């Protein structure tokens, strides 16, 4: 699965994760540290994700 990580605008490929929670763990993020977006929709940590999907992970901590 292709992951766009914002605000860095970096791409990552993660194949092991089957849920949003697993995906965030792979990225070493807590569920309250990022929005997870698929096709313009927000996903909660329990939602399933698949290997063919494009997902955006937008970190939320503001700096300055």
Nearer to other proteins, 9 or 15 (CB): 9
Nearer to other proteins, 52 or 63 (CB): 63
Asked if residue 4 lies in contact with residue 11, where contact means CB atoms within 8 angstroms, the answer is yes
Count of all residues that appear for the chain in the document: 64
Asked if residue 32 lies in contact with residue 26, where contact means CB atoms within 8 angstroms, the answer is no
> Is residue 58 near other proteins by the rule CB under 8 A?
yes
> Is residue 26 near other proteins by the rule CB under 8 A?
no
Element (H, E) at 62: none
Query: Which residues are near other proteins by CB under 8 A?
Result: 6-7, 30-33, 35, 37, 41-47, 58, 60-64
């Amino acid at each position: 699965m292709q992951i766009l990580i914002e605000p860095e605008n970096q791409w990552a490929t993660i194949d092991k994760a089957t849920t949003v929670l697993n995906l965030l763990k792979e990225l070493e993020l807590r569920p309250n540290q990022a929005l997870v977006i698929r096709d313009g929709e927000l996903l909660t940590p329990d939602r399933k994700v698949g290997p063919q999907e494009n997902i955006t992970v937008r970190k939320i901590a503001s700096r300055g």
